[in-house]
Structure 1
Amino acid sequence: MASTSRTNHDARDLLWTPSDSLKDANRRRIIRAVMLDPSSTQVNIARITGLSQATVSTVVSELQEEKIFRVDSGGGERGKRIRLGAVRGLAVGIEVNHTGLTVAARRVDTPRVESDTVDFSADQGGRIWVSESVRLIKELARKTGLDEDHIVSIGLGVPAAVDPRTALVTQVASSLEWNLGGDPRERFHEHFPGVPIIIDNEANLAAYGEYAFGVGKGDAGKNVETMLFVKASTGIGSGLIIGGLIYRGRHGLAGELGHLTMDPTGTVCRCGNRGCLETLVGGARLVEQVRQAYSGYRIDLPTGLESMIEKAKGGDQVCGRVLHDAGRNIGLALARVCNLLNPEIIVLGGELGRASELLIEPAEQSLRLYALRGMLDHPDPTRIMGSQLGLLAGAQGALGFALKADVTVGV
């Protein structure tokens, strides 16, 4: 546990103090960039903020004199590592799914993340997800040595479409009978008054997490330009990052990969259409295929996606074949997306991401069959990769995305 005895600056004061001054706005943006990456360089700060190297250099020098920043020696002027000095604050991220939620909390002056998960049944989630989120936030805050009074931002990822202009929920999954309508942020205001709460679709925030902290970070801390993140679990969702920005579409419905039509005469999907990708590779469907294959022959059948993946890794031929076929279908869907978007990398995450070593090869085979050859027969081809953050991508992405948002007062 990090000591707070030498803390002189409150992160809330640094980030929330209202000001119309361009200089103050630039200071906040640079402070947020260093909080996002507690060991950044001047070059990376300029890239993240969009500010000139000269502006970054000037502000960094001022903040160093005020003991808000510490600048390590070596690495040249632009390559020096810039860290927070004596600053106290806490960033939080929440990812809500159909059957559980994960909360991540991190002191703004350290990269260490504290996290915890709560599982619940789909029918009870609508009643308890807010109270369970609040409980975990307070518990994790204490683990960092701080408390809820030090929270500077909360990112909230929900299983729904969120209008990027109003931050209001525009569509909830048809199978999810939760009251997520309107503005879910309001349910947290009484618990964390004044704290900015940034809301988005949970797959979008998982994509941002993998982009900012996972495989999307690329070599030498330089993030990839375009990244498609596939969240494959009970349902199939995705998030698209272009130039560091989440692409949401006009109504917040971009990235619904699971509802890409694969067979117009196929099985009816929970969305009301037929033959969606989710009807072929959704978690429940994969487990069902295994159980049908073994019906009457075995009693130790998988009860969920996790146990099915473990059996496949252990050599179970039926589980392995079902996952292989799932990889082929995912690859076909990805080929259609790639022919439209041509992303630099595709990241496979969610619960199925645990089986990425079993899925990537068949997915790549389909990609080669159906995608335009120019993006694959290239010295730097489009690649499919497994998630680096795993099931923490959503909560960490929510944490980072909210921390980066330049909000000066509670909303």
Structure 2
Amino acid sequence: MRQNKRWNQQVVKKENKTLVLDSIRNNAPISRADIASLTGLNKGTVSSLVNELLGEKLIYESGPGKSSGGRRPVLLYFNQLAGYSIGIDLGVNYLLGILTNLEGNICHEKYVDFDNLTYEEILQEMIKMVDYLSAQTETTPYGIIGIGVGVPGIISNDSKILLAPNLNWRNIDLKEELESKFGVPVTIENEANAGAYGEKTFGIGKNHHNIIYVSVGIGIGVGLILNGRLYKGNNGFSGEFGHMTIEVGGTKCSCGSEGCWELYASERALIKSAQRNNIHIPDSKEISLEKLISLAKNGDHDSIQLFEEIGKYLGVGINNIINIFNPEQVIIGNRIAAAETWLKEPLRQWVENQTLWFSQKDLKVDFSALLTHSAALGVSAFAVEKFLLQAIETNEGAIS
């Protein structure tokens, strides 16, 4: 009985400590008295928990602040420099790595293009990227607190990569490989889920609670924020809308199905269409998204038409998703967002003409504010949250 009572006290203390830390993170600078008022905890509890957090270097104090009549209060701040997080967005043909502080501010980044690499070769590129970003850090109490990786594939709840069709990966345990190499916690997440969380936390989705994030790169993935929380489905497999059929008997997809949405509305679809239409790229034999954007900026009619066609097909899939989920906001992100100028109008027209009228009420269709950084920021934030939760559990002293 005594053991149960102590366990209950520990659970309550952990919850209260998390509440105090979150209050400081979200409202700094803030005084102890204001934390007590905000959380409903008594001043003695707040003072004790604040002292623990100060000792753990997760917060610091400065001040004093303005007085409301008595002694001027000492103000508390979240210590965003207590450690660093590494977030990596793994694309089909690129790696984007960022080093952030605990508030998600990007301190350094590195981008690497590649083509048709094996899993082992991509793993080595990722290791080199982590080594490079780790070398950019300054001395902090906790150092590198974790690594997050966004992967374009189906991720199980225990972070196994079950299938990444555009990378030809099946049953890959990237988490174990990286944790064994670097000795820090690793989070593996579907890149569209990570992008949705990145936009909700740092981007254009901050003020919305029901968000559909459409990540458009070589393939298409969808992340769902429902009632303010990331929705992952029963086993973590939600959001595979890139593989919903939009054309019966259509083109064969790498997932094994036919007529999938990403075959008609992705970066790969854009490039294949450009090749079919013999789009001429000056001084280059290679067709890429960036080169097509450059042509469109210079008024090239054929490349603009290609983007408009992709915009229409994006609208086809987004219309279906809107009718299913009735969201507040749809965000188009990842590499294709750089072509907003030519995608936006055909997408808007399709949604306006095809989506049920009542589903369009209070609906916003936006392009990402973070462009290519949404997923990397999202997995970096997952790593930070995991670290803070673990730090509170690990650093707990005696029950006070």
TM-score category by the smaller chain? 0.7 to 0.9
8 A Cα contact 1:174 1:270, kept in partner: yes
Give, in angstroms, the shift of residue 344 of structure 1.
0.9
- How far apart, in 1, do the equivalents of 2:375 and 2:173 lie? 20
Q: Determine the structure 1 residue equivalent to 2:176.
A: 186
- How far apart, in 2, do the equivalents of 1:341 and 1:90 lie? 36
Q: 1:265 aligns with which of 224, 249, 262?
A: 249
Q: 1:198 aligns with which of 170, 174, 187?
A: 187
Higher gyration radius (CA): 2
8 A Cα contact 2:20 2:50, kept in partner: no
Q: Which amino acid aligns with 2:122?
A: W
- How far apart, in 1, do the equivalents of 2:14 and 2:281 lie? 69
Q: Which amino acid aligns with 2:347?
A: A
Q: Determine the structure 2 residue equivalent to 1:133.
A: 126
Give, in angstroms, the shift of residue 365 of structure 1.
0.8
Give, in angstroms, the shift of residue 136 of structure 1.
2.3
Give, in angstroms, the shift of residue 41 of structure 1.
7.6
Map 1:292-371 to 2 at 5 A: 292-294=276-278, 303-371=287-355
Q: Which amino acid aligns with 1:211?
A: K
- Point out where structure 1 has 5 or more consecutive residues left out of the alignment: 1-18, 47-51, 219-223
8 A Cα contact 1:27 1:59, kept in partner: no
Q: Determine the structure 2 residue equivalent to 1:111.
A: 105
8 A Cα contact 1:266 1:275, kept in partner: yes
Q: Determine the structure 1 residue equivalent to 2:136.
A: 143
- How far apart, in 2, do the equivalents of 1:121 and 1:246 lie? 31
Q: Determine the structure 2 residue equivalent to 1:12.
A: none
2:368 counterpart of 1:387: yes
2:109 counterpart of 1:98: no
- How far apart, in 2, do the equivalents of 1:143 and 1:23 lie? 36
8 A Cα contact 2:221 2:240, kept in partner: yes
8 A Cα contact 1:163 1:250, kept in partner: no
* SS of the residue 2:246 aligns to: coil
Task: Report the TM-score, using the length of structure 1 for normalisation.
Answer: 0.78
* SS of the residue 1:155 aligns to: strand
Q: Determine the structure 2 residue equivalent to 1:207.
A: 196
Q: Which amino acid aligns with 1:304?
A: S
2:158 counterpart of 1:177: no
- How far apart, in 1, do the equivalents of 2:290 and 2:94 lie? 15
Map 1:40-119 to 2 at 5 A: 53-55=39-41, 62=48, 67=54, 68-70=59-61, 73=65, 83-85=77-79, 88-108=82-102, 111-119=105-113
Cα deviation code 1:168-204 (max 9, x no counterpart):
33x31334234x52532110123322x2222211111
Q: How many residues are matched?
A: 369
- How far apart, in 2, do the equivalents of 1:332 and 1:263 lie? 11
* SS of the residue 2:330 aligns to: strand
- How far apart, in 1, do the equivalents of 2:135 and 2:225 lie? 33
2:398 counterpart of 1:398: no
8 A Cα contact 1:196 1:407, kept in partner: no
Cα deviation code 1:281-333 (max 9, x no counterpart):
22222122223223699885661112112211221111111111111111121
- How far apart, in 1, do the equivalents of 2:92 and 2:67 lie? 46
CA separation of 1:295 and 1:367: change in aligned 2, threshold 3 A: closer
8 A Cα contact 2:307 2:342, kept in partner: yes
Give, in angstroms, the shift of residue 20 of structure 1.
4.1
Q: 2:234 aligns with which of 250, 256, 268?
A: 250
- How far apart, in 1, do the equivalents of 2:28 and 2:122 lie? 34
Q: 1:31 aligns with which of 6, 11, 21?
A: 21
8 A Cα contact 2:99 2:133, kept in partner: yes
- How far apart, in 1, do the equivalents of 2:343 and 2:21 lie? 40
- How far apart, in 1, do the equivalents of 2:355 and 2:15 lie? 44
CA separation of 1:353 and 1:65: change in aligned 2, threshold 3 A: same
8 A Cα contact 1:153 1:197, kept in partner: yes
8 A Cα contact 2:86 2:133, kept in partner: no
Cα deviation code 1:138-186 (max 9, x no counterpart):
322332314896122222222221123x3333x31334234x5253211
CA separation of 1:395 and 1:299: change in aligned 2, threshold 3 A: closer
* SS of the residue 1:354 aligns to: helix
8 A Cα contact 1:106 1:144, kept in partner: no
Cα deviation code 1:206-250 (max 9, x no counterpart):
1111110000113xxxxx111111111111111111133221222
- How far apart, in 1, do the equivalents of 2:377 and 2:331 lie? 16
- How far apart, in 2, do the equivalents of 1:159 and 1:268 lie? 19
Instruction: Give the RMSD, CA atoms, in angstroms.
Output: 3.5
Q: Determine the structure 1 residue equivalent to 2:390.
A: 407
Give, in angstroms, the shift of residue 61 of structure 1.
5.1
Percent of aligned pairs with the same amino acid: 26
Cα deviation code 1:2-28 (max 9, x no counterpart):
xxxxxxxxxxxxxxxxx9442134324
Q: Determine the structure 2 residue equivalent to 1:10.
A: none
Give, in angstroms, the shift of residue 86 of structure 1.
8.7
CA separation of 1:28 and 1:154: change in aligned 2, threshold 3 A: farther
8 A Cα contact 1:284 1:304, kept in partner: no
